[in-house]
Amino acid sequence: MKLTIPAALARAATEFGEAIAEPGGPRLTYAELHDRVQTAARAYIAAGIAPGDRVAIWAPNSYHWVIAALGALYAGGVLVPVNTRYTAPEAQEIITRSRARALVVIGPFLGRDRLAELPKPPEVVWRIPEDLDNLGRLGIASLSAAEERAAAVSPDQVSDILFTSGTTGRSKGAMSAHRQSLGVAQSWAECGGLSSGDRYLVINPFFHSFGYKAGILSCLLSGATIVPQRIFDVAEAMRLVDAERITVLPGPPTIYQTMLDHPSRHELDLSTLRLAVTGAAIVPVALIERMQRELSFETVLTAYGLTEAVVATMCRVGDDPATVAATSGRAAAQMQVRLGVNDEILLRGPNVMLGYLDDPEATAQAIDPEGWLHTGDIGRLDENGYLAITDRLKDMYICGGFNVYPAEVEQVLARLEGVAESAVIGVPDERLGEVGKAFVVPRPGHRLSTEDIIDHCRSQLANYKLPREVEVREDLPRSATGKPLKRVLREELR
């Protein structure tokens, strides 16, 4: 098989059965999905989307998202997923910097009209569901034109640009080729033993590298059925496990803990669950044992990755609970893993990103001349090559499975009238793993309330980035050079 996503879809159409089981929506076979994607590609072509053009998608998990994304790739375009939690200014920045020529966006959803909020949408805009369900009325090119586009896609062509914040607070667009996106998806599927008999409840957002590559693309390669969950809710997830006979359910540890403690768990049949893949936080051995004993998971695995490489290490079927809890597994996806200065985790392999969009300086800082990706995470490797994440060189913390970069929050705080300086750190939270705490120093003569500070952040930042706690103080602890010492702030809290 040619290592392109259009070729993978064509293969799936002939080899596999059910592709998507949308809760409350259509059930499509891989052959039917292939037909819908072809139609979407024909509509993109008719709208003037050329090979290499960027197509942004700003919508929650649904079969529409899958069709829009695969259709863009089938037409030779480049996918640019946009976080559904982003405010309009955050989304506009991604759309503008990626130079997206098309936007696929959800209609009014959860009290917001995202398209109406955008100050400058691209020239081509499709709404979900009305336009995606009626592509014919928008105009479509010939089937042969779509097939020519799909055949012309090469394995080394850029398939997607996934934006991830950096420690400077400015988002960076990690570019991957078709062969790389498929490579990490194949590795994840193989480590988890994914097959056409699996039914995969995808609660991870499609806009995230995990939901897209370890979700949609892993299913595309293995023939597993995609069951997308539009809005995550633990009770609804358990209901879907029962109703859809779900076998695969990845997610952060807090999801499984909530399921185990949910009062309605015993009313539902969750016995079909076989595979859980987790990470992004400490996973207690006791939790893994309860997942296997009380939720019927045959296999619980942990993994480590980042947008720039997606799948770096992963446990394997048969690893004992202590290994799964204490490590993030061993190298996967043909990745090499070693420790550099200060035990920083370095990665090298065929699926490390091509680079950051329009940012050669950041690319050179991230990937050294020998091809090693400097992750900014600190770890240790045991004699069997299993990696344990011990700390972060970056200030990043993880809230509910989402990376939060304090520098970005601090930049927003700096724009609030009356703020002289701020420092944001992650603090433990029982439900979300970590949440933000902001230490704010006011300018002389200004009074700042916690409510004013949080309201300001709420207008500029996605919800998971909001500081949950604010402490206004006269000064911050500093180094000899005057740099705020976040280490001291963390020690004070302890």
The helix (run of H) or strand (run of E) holding residue 184 is helix 178-192
Mean of all residue pLDDT scores within the chain: 93
The pLDDT assigned to 461 comes to: 94
* Per-residue pLDDT at 414 exceeds 90: no
pLDDT (average), residues 21-49 = 97
CA-CA distance, 353 to 159, in Å (whole number)?
Answer: 11
Query: Strand, coil or helix: what is 12?
Result: helix
Q: pLDDT-based confidence at 479, cuts 50/70/90?
A: low
The pLDDT assigned to 168 comes to: 45
pLDDT (average), residues 88-110 = 95
Please, what's the largest Cα pairwise distance for the chain? 71
The pLDDT assigned to 232 comes to: 87
Start-to-end Cα distance in the chain: 54
CA-CA distance, 314 to 301, in Å (whole number)?
Answer: 7
* Per-residue pLDDT at 80 exceeds 80: yes
Percent of the chain with pLDDT over 70: 97
Buried b (16+ CB within 10 A) or exposed e, 330-369: bbbbebebeeeeeebbbbbbebbbbbbbebeebbeebbee
CA-CA distance, 67 to 59, in Å (whole number)?
Answer: 12
Q: Are 106 and 61 in contact (CB under 8 A)?
A: no
CA-CA distance, 358 to 347, in Å (whole number)?
Answer: 22
pLDDT (average), residues 166-176 = 76
* Per-residue pLDDT at 167 exceeds 50: no
* Per-residue pLDDT at 480 exceeds 70: no
Higher pLDDT, 232 or 6: 6
CA-CA distance, 465 to 409, in Å (whole number)?
Answer: 7
Instruction: Dig out the tokens for 69 from the structure.
Output: 């994304």
Q: pLDDT-based confidence at 396, cuts 50/70/90?
A: confident
The pLDDT assigned to 306 comes to: 92
The pLDDT assigned to 287 comes to: 86
The pLDDT assigned to 164 comes to: 85
The pLDDT assigned to 281 comes to: 55
Residue with tokens 């929506």: 25
**Per-residue model confidence as pLDDT tens digits over 449-466:** 999 999 999 999 999 999
CA-CA distance, 459 to 462, in Å (whole number)?
Answer: 8
CA-CA distance, 408 to 465, in Å (whole number)?
Answer: 9
Ranges 16-20, 413-417, 490-494, most confident? 16-20
The helix (run of H) or strand (run of E) holding residue 391 is strand 387-392
**Per-residue model confidence as pLDDT tens digits over 245-283:** 999 999 988 789 889 989 999 999 999 999 999 975 567
Amino acid at site 42: R
Amino acid at site 240: L
Q: pLDDT-based confidence at 77, cuts 50/70/90?
A: very high
* Per-residue pLDDT at 407 exceeds 90: no
pLDDT (average), residues 157-181 = 86
The helix (run of H) or strand (run of E) holding residue 73 is helix 63-74
* Per-residue pLDDT at 425 exceeds 80: yes
Asked if the peptide bond before residue 129 counts as cis, ω within 30 degrees of 0, the response is yes
CA-CA distance, 17 to 35, in Å (whole number)?
Answer: 14
Q: pLDDT-based confidence at 326, cuts 50/70/90?
A: confident
Instruction: Dig out the tokens for 14 from the structure.
Output: 């002939």
Question: Residue 50 gets which letter from DSSP?
Answer: P
Q: pLDDT-based confidence at 487, cuts 50/70/90?
A: confident
Question: What's the predicted TM-score (pTM) here?
Answer: 0.86
CA-CA distance, 27 to 18, in Å (whole number)?
Answer: 7
* Per-residue pLDDT at 380 exceeds 70: yes
- Domains in the chain, please, with CATH? 5-380 (3.40.50.12780), 397-493 (3.30.300.30)
Contacts of 377 (CB under 8 A, 6+ apart): 306, 344, 345, 389, 391, 392, 393, 394
* Per-residue pLDDT at 200 exceeds 90: yes
The pLDDT assigned to 408 comes to: 83
* Per-residue pLDDT at 391 exceeds 80: no
